[in-house]
Structure 1
Amino acid sequence: MEQETWRILIVEDDRRLAELTQEYLQSSGGFEVLIESDGACAAERIIEERPDLVVLDLMLPGEDGLSICRRVRDRYDGPILMLTARADDLDQVLGLETGADDYVCKPVRPRLLLARIRALLRRQPPEAPTNAKRLQFGPLVIDSALREAWLREQQIELTGAEFDLLWLLTSNPGRILSREEIFAELRGIEYDGQDRSIDVRISRIRPKIGDDPDHPRLIKTVRGKGYLFVSEAAVAMV
């Protein structure tokens, strides 16, 4: 069955930029695109209208993007793509830590934005895939059909991007996954050697699955190579 048109909400106070982006995404991506220019109204609109994806500017009048993301994250499970300053690494890290799934630096390149949006929407299939399955390592359970995970029968609060990364790692136990491989798999782009989004998500996932952030045993960093999920350590958890 053909997928119905995806609905995207752009939260951006620069009206001209928002309208140009809206026009491009509608003509090139085939999306239905809505605009909200007031940060004070954005959170309520996201929760009530539940668009398939939100493009959220960091700097907004009324309420900034970080605050909006933090407020809606536990009530809105769709992907959030944040627009940040080009060279401000702190903005990017803070955005990911408050629950954003990805970010694009300003000035926005339309084709890159479209590619990132499509990559995020591919994570949100309307129906569970036929090859969906459940993985279990001791008290840690990850279900790809429900896109949920549990530790000792307690549901783990994960963003969509965190779940995707956890699923990728746990689907490849005992295998080192490089940052290049993770980027290609989850974001469909090449790793530029500087992006810290994977590292930030790993640091957020570790304590959620019962790993020690200072001395990790479940998700290990292999210097110069990437990340490794150690299934034996997960099975041994009590």
Structure 2
Amino acid sequence: MTRVLVIEDDPAVRRGVSLGLRHRGHETLLVSTGEEGLAELVASAPDLVLLDLMLPGMSGLETCRRIRAFSQVPIVILSARDDDVDVVVGLEAGADDYVIKPASTEVIEARMRAVLRRTAQPASSDQARTTHGDLLVDRVALRVLKHGEELALAPTELKLLLFLTAAPEQTFSRQQLLEQVWEHSFHGDYRLVDACVMRLRAKIENDPRNPRYIQTVRGFGYRFGPL
């Protein structure tokens, strides 16, 4: 059973999401503001957060940023705002996925499960710990260290790095990354990939504007290295 914190100010949406998830065996914790969401996150330690952007008081974006300041809990934004700017800004704030309302419970649950699986990937025995420049990637402990210091990576950031470092110098298209990391089998939203790469570069690169690790292959996608 997954414990889901739903931060949503619309009572009807909050109730509908809760009923749908509970019907599928999940536990839901319901709050209507970002401030309440932060307090509930600390008190109840949910497995995942469903977060609306349009909240009274503290905005959903600010709530997302504050959560990321102390927690790597998976965050899925659930919002009616579908403009490119809104989606990109939400992802850059630290969300792992972005679902546009209205969305069925089946879609919400599928995206939740995909995010939760990103931190439960099996490690190959011959590449359990690999070193790439200043980075140490531990696939068994699901940890990444830079200069010996552990990096705080969100679930999607971690899975993207694990995937890319498993095949150094191999170029992957954005669609391939969507399918393998986000588990979106349809022709998906490449903004998810680009925003996650940007966040990951900010954490692992010495100079994110001149990346050493995650390199862009223009017009196609990304690759890890060469270093």
Tell me whether the two structures share a fold, i.e. TM-score over 0.5.
Answer: yes
Q: Which aligned pairs between 1:38-187 and structure 2 lie closer than 5 A?
A: 38-125=33-120, 129=122, 131=124, 133-187=128-182
Change (3 A) 1:43 1:109: same
Q: Is the 8 A contact 1:53 1:78 kept in 2?
A: yes
Q: Indicate the RMSD between aligned Cα atoms, in angstroms.
A: 2.0
Are residues 129 and 194 of structure 1, via their aligned partners in 2, closer, same or farther at CA, if it must alter by over 3 Å? closer
Deviation digits for residues 58-88 of structure 1, max 9, x if unmatched? 1111321111111122322220111233422
Name the SS for the 2:12 alignment partner. Answer: helix
Three-state SS of the structure 1 residue aligned to 2:103 is: coil
Is this contact kept in 1: 2:135–2:145, CA < 8 A?
A: yes
Contact in 1 for aligned 2:52/2:79 (Cα 8 Å):
yes
SS in 1 for 2:136: strand
SS of structure 2 residue aligned to 1:196 = helix
User: Could you tell me whether the CA contact under 8 Å between 1:47 and 1:76 is conserved in 2?
Assistant: no
What secondary structure sits across from 1:158 in the alignment?
A: coil
CA distance in 1, matches of 2:196, 2:72: 17
- Deviation digits for residues 96-117 of structure 1 (CA, Å, limit 9, x no counterpart): 2221111101222322111101
Number of the residue aligned with 1:236: none
The code of the aligned residue for 2:22 comes to Q
Aligned to 1:18: 14
How far residue 225 of structure 1 moved from its aligned partner, in angstroms, is: 2.3
TM alignment of 1:24-35, pairs within 5 A: 24-27=20-23, 29-35=24-30
- The answer to whether the aligner puts 1:217 opposite 2:202 as a matched pair is no
Deviation at 1:193, TM superposition (A): 5.6
Q: Give the TM-score normalised by structure 2.
A: 0.90
Return 89-98 or 178-187, whichever deviates more: 89-98
Aligned 8 A contact 1:7 1:51 in 2: yes
Q: Structure 1, residues 22-44: CA drift from partner, whole Å, max 9, x if none?
A: 111122x3211221113321111
Distance 2:205 2:111 in 1: 31
Indicate the percent of aligned positions where both proteins have the same amino acid.
Answer: 39
Q: Which SS does the other structure have where 1:197 is aligned?
A: helix
Q: How many residues align?
A: 225
Deviation at 1:130, TM superposition (A): 6.4
Q: TM-score, normalization: structure 1?
A: 0.86
Q: In 1, distance between residues paired with 2:208 and 2:94?
A: 19
**Alignment CA distance shift 1:40-1:169 (3 Å):** same
| Residue 191 of structure 2 corresponds to residue 196 of structure 1 | yes
Q: Which of 195-204 and 83-92 deviates more?
A: 83-92
Give the residue type in structure 2 aligned to 1:217. Answer: R
